[in-house]
Chain A
Amino acid sequence: MPLSGKHLLGISGLPVSDIRLILNTARSFREISSRPIKKVPTLRGRTIINLFFEPSTRTRSSFEIAAKRLSADSLNFSVSTSSVSKGETLIDTGLNLLSMNPDVIVIRHSEAGAPHLLARHLKGCSIVNAGDGMHEHPTQALLDALTIEDKKERFEGLKIAIVGDIAHSRVARSNALLLTKMGSDVWICGPPTLIPIAFDQYNVHVTYQMQEALEGADVIMMLRTQRERQREVFYPSIKEYFALYGLDRRKLTWAKKDAIVMHPGPINRGVEIDPEVADGLESVILEQVTNGVAVRMAVLYLILGASEEGSK
C-alpha cells in the first residue's frame, strides 16, 4: 500500500493512515540496520537527490544512509549560499536536477514553502521536505513519533511538553500537528517572545511556565535555542534563558518518573539542556537518530511505491 500523496511536504494534510503506515514500515525496516550486511535491494536502480540549501550534516547523512540501505543511488547536492548568489533560481536548480531523471528530490531550504515551489514546477519527480524554514520538518516529527511509540506504546492521552524556541521551529510545528492528530495532549512552552501568534490553532496548550508544561508529562521535547536570538531581543541572556527554560535535574522532577527526554539535535549543552539530563537514562536522543534512518527508509520506499502506482 503506497502513501496517499506523491510528495511528502508536511505533516499538515498527511492522513493518520499514512502516519501509521510510515511508522509500521519504519519498524520493519529498522531490523535491516542491525544486520551485519545492512543493505536490501528494494530500491535498486532508483535515484535520490539530496538537495540541501542549508548546512545540515545530520539530516542529510540520515537520508543518505536510508537511501543506501535500500540500494538506491543517492547524490548529495549542497548549494552554498554563494552559488545561490550566482543567480540560479531554485526553480532552475530543480529543473537542472530533474533533467537527470531522479525519482525523489529531498530538499532542505531556509525558506518556508520552497519544497512546495519545487513540487509545483517539477513534474515527474517526488519531493520530500527535509525542513523548510520555520514551516515543517515532517520526517523529524515521524521519527519522534516512532521513538515515543516505542517507549510509551501509545499516543493517546500522553502529556507531551515541547519546550523552547517555538517561533523559529519547524520541528515544533510538525510535531504539534502529528501528535495532536494521534490524540496526545501537547503542551507548548517557551518565553512569549518565542511563541508565535495563534499557536493554539494546533489544539495545543500554550504556557510560559515550565512547571505547568512539565507537571505529569510523559514526554519532554526540548528544542534547540540559537544563541544569536539573544541579539534579536527574544531573551536577555543565555543564563536567564537556562534558568527559566533549560531542562535540568530539578525541573525534570516535575515530570512523571518514567518521562523520556527528547531533542531533535544538535543539542546546546548548558543552553537548553543540562549535560546531566542529556546523558541521563531518561534521554532517548540517540535513539531518535537511529529511528531517523528507519523512518527515512520507510518514507523513500513508500513514496516511490506511490509514484509507481501513479504512473501506471
Chain B
Amino acid sequence: MTILIQGGKLVDPSQGLNKKTDLLIEKGKVAGLGKITPEKGWKVVDARGWIVAPGFIDMHVHLREPGREDKETVATGTRAAVAGGFTGVACMPNTDPINDCEAITRFIREKARESNLAHVYPIGAITKGEDGAELAEIGEMVKAGAVALSDDGRPVQNNQIMRRALEYSKIFDIAILDHCEDVNLAARGSMNESAVSTELGLRGINGAAEEMQVARDVVLGRLTHARVHICHLSTRESLDWVRMGKKQGIRITCEVTPHHFTLSDEAIRSYDTNFKVNPPLRSKSDVEALLEGLADGTVDTIATDHAPHTSLDKDVTFEEAACGVVGMETAVPLVWEFLVLKGVISESRAVELLSVNPSRILRIDRGTLQQGAIADVTLIDPKRRIKIDAKQFASKGRNCPYQDWELRGVPMMTIVGGRIVYERPA
C-alpha cells in the first residue's frame, strides 16, 4: 500500500529536518519527502498538527517470553510497543530459559515474526545463564539476530570477566548494555538509601552501588576500546562518570528511563510497590541531574526498562515485591509532558533520544526517514491529552506508577515497514 502522510511536521535529526513536510511511503520504504500531491488509491493520513518522526526504538524491555508468559508475551509486548509509539524494541535476555544461546534468540525472533507488529531485537546474555562466570556463545547469538549483550538484572560482578566480555564483543562490534550494580553494596536493599529509606525503615541501596560499576566500565572501556552502554542510569555521580568517559574518548553511552526522570524516592512514602524499581527511584537532586544530562547531550537514549509483573508479584509488602514498572505505553507522553513541553529538550532532541541514538547503539538500520529508508514511522499529537489508565494497556502488566496522571503528547499512529500497525481511535 502507498501511504501519504500529509501536513505533519517532520522531525528527523538524522537529516537535520524539522519542518512541515509530506512523507510518502511505498513498498515499505520512504519514497518521497516534500510537498506531495496525493494520487488515486493512496492512503492519505491527515497529520496536520502532528509530529512525524523516524520510528522510536525502546532499547530496554522485558518481554518475558519464553518462561513467564503470565507476565507478558512477545505478542502482548509488541502490541504495547506499537500502542506506545515504538516501532522496535530490544528485549533483555533474562527470560526462562535465559537467552544465552542461538536457539532462544531464534525462538524470540520467530515469535516476533508471528506477532508481526513491532520489530524485536533480541539482546543476548553476556555469560551463560547470566551467572557471571563463563561467556555465552556470543557469536552464535549474533548470527541468530542478537544486536547487543547484557546480563541485565544479574550484572557481572567479576571485573576480569567483564574485561574479557568487552574484549570479545569487539569481534562483532556490538555494545554491552550494563546494568550497573555492585550487589554487595546494594546489600539486598529495596529502595534508594536516603532520608526516606531511613524514615520508612526500608533497607537502602546507595547510589554508590551503581556508581562503582559505572566507574569500572569507564576504566574497562578505556582498557578495551569496546563499546559499553550504561543501562537505566539513575544518579548524578554516574552521569559525571559517563561525562568524563566521553570527554576522554571512551566509547561509552547511556540511557535513562522515564520513571527515573519523573519520579523520586519521595513517592515511596505510601509503600506503594508500583514505585519499586531497580535501580531504585533516587533523590530529587539525582532527578535534576538526569534532566541536565538529557538536555546537555550526556544521555544518549531514553529506554523504558518495561518490566511487566502480575499482581502476585506486587500485592505484597514492599521488600517482598518484585522490581519494575511497565513503561512502553507511558514513555512518549512522559517525554513530551516532562521534557519537550517543559522546554528541557527540543522535539529534535527527543527524536534523537528515542530513535536516532538507540538505532546507532544497536547498529540497526533505523532512526531515519531519508529517501529509501525502511518506513518505520511514529506519529505524535503533541497537544493531545490522555489520562493514564493501566487497565487499558495492551501490555499484560498493570504495574504502572502513573495511574490517573494526565499527560500531553500522544502517539497517534505507528507504522512498521510501511504498514500501519497501530492507530489511536479519534
Contacts and interface: CB of A to CB of B under 8 A. Distances in A.
Given A112-B200, A198-B198, 7 more contacts: A90-B317, A112-B271, A113-B202, A114-B317, A116-B270, A117-B317, A173-B201
A136 interface: yes
Contacts of B316: 89-91, 117
Given A134-B201, A135-B200, A197 B194 contact: yes
A134 B317 CA distance: 13
Interface string B315-333: 1111110000000000000
B193 interface: yes
B39 interface: no
State the 7 A-B residue pairs at the shortest beta-carbon distance, nearest first.
Answer: A135-B201, A113-B271, A198-B195, A134-B201, A112-B201, A111-B317, A196-B198
B198 A112 contact: no
> Which of A89, A109, A196 has most chain B Cβ within 10 Å?
A196
Interface in B204-256: 204, 206
A209 interface: no
Interface in B5-26: none
A134 B271 CA distance: 14
> Which of B193, B201, B202 has most chain A Cβ within 10 Å?
B201
B309 to A, nearest CB: 14
Nearest to A111: B317
B199 interface: yes
Interface string B96-116: 000000000000000000000
A111 B320 contact: yes
Contact of B198 (A91, A111, A132, A197): A197
Contacts of A201: 195, 198-199
B355 interface: no
B357 interface: no
B271 A116 contact: yes
Nearest to A173: B201
Nearest to B206: A197
B150 interface: no
Interface in A131-156: 132-136
A199 interface: yes
B395 interface: no
A83 interface: no
B87 interface: no
Interface in B242-281: 270-271
B368 interface: no
Contacts of B320: 111
B420 to A, nearest CB: 42
Contacts of A226: none
Given A90-B316, A112-B318, A197 B204 contact: yes
A284 to B, nearest CB: 26
A111 B190 CA distance: 11
A229 B49 CA distance: 62
Contacts of B195: 197-198, 201
Interface of B: 193-195, 197-204, 206, 270-271, 312, 315-320
16 contacts: A89-B315, A113-B200, A113-B201, A113-B202, A117-B317, A132-B201, A134-B203, A135-B202, A196-B197, A196-B198, A196-B204, A197-B195, A197-B198, A198-B194, A201-B195, A201-B198
B310 to A, nearest CB: 12
Contacts of A80: none
A12 interface: yes
A90 B320 CA distance: 11
B302 to A, nearest CB: 29
A91 B273 CA distance: 14
Interface string A83-109: 000000111000000000000000001
Contact of A170 (B201, B312, B317): B201
Contacts of B318: 111-113
Nearest to A195: B198
A12 B199 contact: yes
Interface string A185-222: 00000000000111101000000000000000000000
A198 B204 CA distance: 12
Contacts of A111: 317-320
B197 A91 contact: no
Nearest to A112: B201
B194 A133 contact: no
B68 to A, nearest CB: 18
Nearest to A200: B195
Given A197-B193, A197-B204, A113 B317 contact: yes
> Which of B202, B204, B271 has most chain A Cβ within 10 Å?
B271
Contacts of B312: 89
Contacts of B200: 112-113, 135
A109 B320 CA distance: 12
B319 A133 contact: yes
A197 to B, nearest CB: 5
A242 to B, nearest CB: 25
A134 B202 contact: yes
Nearest to A113: B271
Nearest to A92: B315
B11 to A, nearest CB: 43
A101 B270 CA distance: 26
A134 B204 CA distance: 12
B195 to A, nearest CB: 4
B297 to A, nearest CB: 32
A199 B198 contact: yes
Contacts of A170: 201
Contacts of A12: 199
Nearest to B316: A89
A134 B200 CA distance: 8
A241 to B, nearest CB: 20
Contact of A117 (B198, B203, B204, B271): B271
Contacts of A197: 193-195, 197-198, 204, 206
A133 B204 CA distance: 13
Contacts of A112: 200-202, 271, 317-319
Nearest to B270: A116
Contacts of A114: 317
Contacts of A196: 197-198, 204
A116 B317 CA distance: 9
Contacts of A90: 316-317
B254 to A, nearest CB: 25
